[in-house]
Amino acid sequence: MRTQPNIAIVGATGAVGRECLAILEQRRFPHGVLRALASARSAGSTVNDRGTPRPVEELGQRSFEGIDLAFFAAGADTARAFAPCAVAAGAVVIDKSSAHRADPACPLVIPEINGDLLTPLRARPGVVAVPNCSTIVLLLPLDPLHRAFGIERIVVSTYQAASGAGAAAMAELEEQTRTVLGGGRAEPRVFKEPCAFNVFSHDSAIDGATGSNGEEAKMASETRRIWRDASVRVNATCVRVGVLRGHTESITVTLRRTATEAQVRAALAAGRAIRVLDDRAGNRFPTPLRATGGDEVLVGRVRPDDTQPNGLGYNLLVSGDQLRIGASLTAVKIAERLLGV
């Protein structure tokens, strides 16, 4: 791969695509040509690339000629249709959609945890999948505990922001908030339930046999795959909340080996891409507002779970910016690792 690869961003005008552009600039990612790609309705508009307006081109089968790295920040259908075109043109695809996450031939990567899987892609084109945002926010704080003590079981409840459903969902929350505060009634379009001033079960499809929704199933399957541990048990309940940006998760773990609270805190303090915010005296802990715009998952409310055998169970509360660490930042870190920067 070139030291300054030519890159394309598919879905450049969406929330995740714009965040990707901003992070590339902030981290001074070296690149040559930058091609902004989107649907026909966005073609002709512009996006900002390091202070320079870049025209948005309509995505097509020939959009990836001369491209080395293609960031896919669009939906799964778009990724399924056009990722093969990018690979055929010689590009490495970093897909932030759900299209390739369950494909055993496609590495599912959080760079801080299993970045070693990227090595083959340095020599040949292919696809790497960015995990589900809730999985990233879950595993970054748990990975140091998994490495130090092993993890047998995870019980997690999520409080997921509108940002997880894209720019249209964020706009809907803002619009509904204004409407309700003005005395009107929120009318949902993106979500099936009103988002403003509300909490509701995650909007992914429910499995009629298990009762789990798609988000919950992803968190379980992706955790086992990323950790390469088929035995870890994950019990997830995923919920949307009336928050614009930033996912929060309440986590209870069962360790494989006993640990003191001091040992758990020491492991967390040494973790990567996380920051412990656990001020009991000041009652200051992770919140989505504190996490927004940040490059770390905030970790707090660290305490033993007294319903489990002593030294095996611990509780955590975490928050992470879904658009950054849950999507675009992880994708850019994958690109940096591929490039060796």
In a domain, 142, yes or no: yes
Q: Are 246 and 161 in contact (CB under 8 A)?
A: yes
Of 44, 50, 79, the residue nearest 64 (C-alpha): 79
In a domain, 2, yes or no: no
Averaged pLDDT score across all residues of the chain? 96
Identity of the residue numbered 107: P
109/171 same-domain check: no
Across 34-49, average pLDDT: 92
User: Residue 3 — very low, low, confident or very high, per pLDDT cuts 50/70/90?
Assistant: confident
318/331 same-domain check: no
Task: List the catalytic residue out of 31, 100, 146, 247.
Answer: 247
100/223 same-domain check: no
In a domain, 276, yes or no: yes
142/262 same-domain check: yes
User: In this model, does residue 123 exceed pLDDT 90?
Assistant: no
Task: List the catalytic residue out of 85, 133, 195, 238.
Answer: 133
CATH code of the domain covering residue 308: 3.30.360.10
Across 235-244, average pLDDT: 97
What is d(CA 247, CA 318) in angstroms, rounded to the nearest whole number?
Answer: 8
Of 287, 331, 289, the residue nearest 111 (C-alpha): 331
For residue 85, indicate whether it is catalytic: no
User: In this model, does residue 1 exceed pLDDT 80?
Assistant: no
Range of the domain at 62: 7-131+327-339
154/287 same-domain check: yes
Across 259-283, average pLDDT: 98
In a domain, 1, yes or no: no
172/247 same-domain check: yes
80/171 same-domain check: no
223/84 same-domain check: no
79/166 same-domain check: no
User: Residue 59 — very low, low, confident or very high, per pLDDT cuts 50/70/90?
Assistant: very high
In a domain, 55, yes or no: yes
CATH code of the domain covering residue 62: 3.40.50.720
To 10 degrees, what angle do helices 214-227 and 133-149 make?
A: 40
Across 268-272, average pLDDT: 97
194/65 same-domain check: no
pTM: 0.95
Question: Residue 20 — left, alpha, or beta (φ > 0 → left; ψ -120 to 50 → alpha)?
Answer: alpha
User: In this model, does residue 268 exceed pLDDT 80?
Assistant: yes
In a domain, 303, yes or no: yes
306/331 same-domain check: no
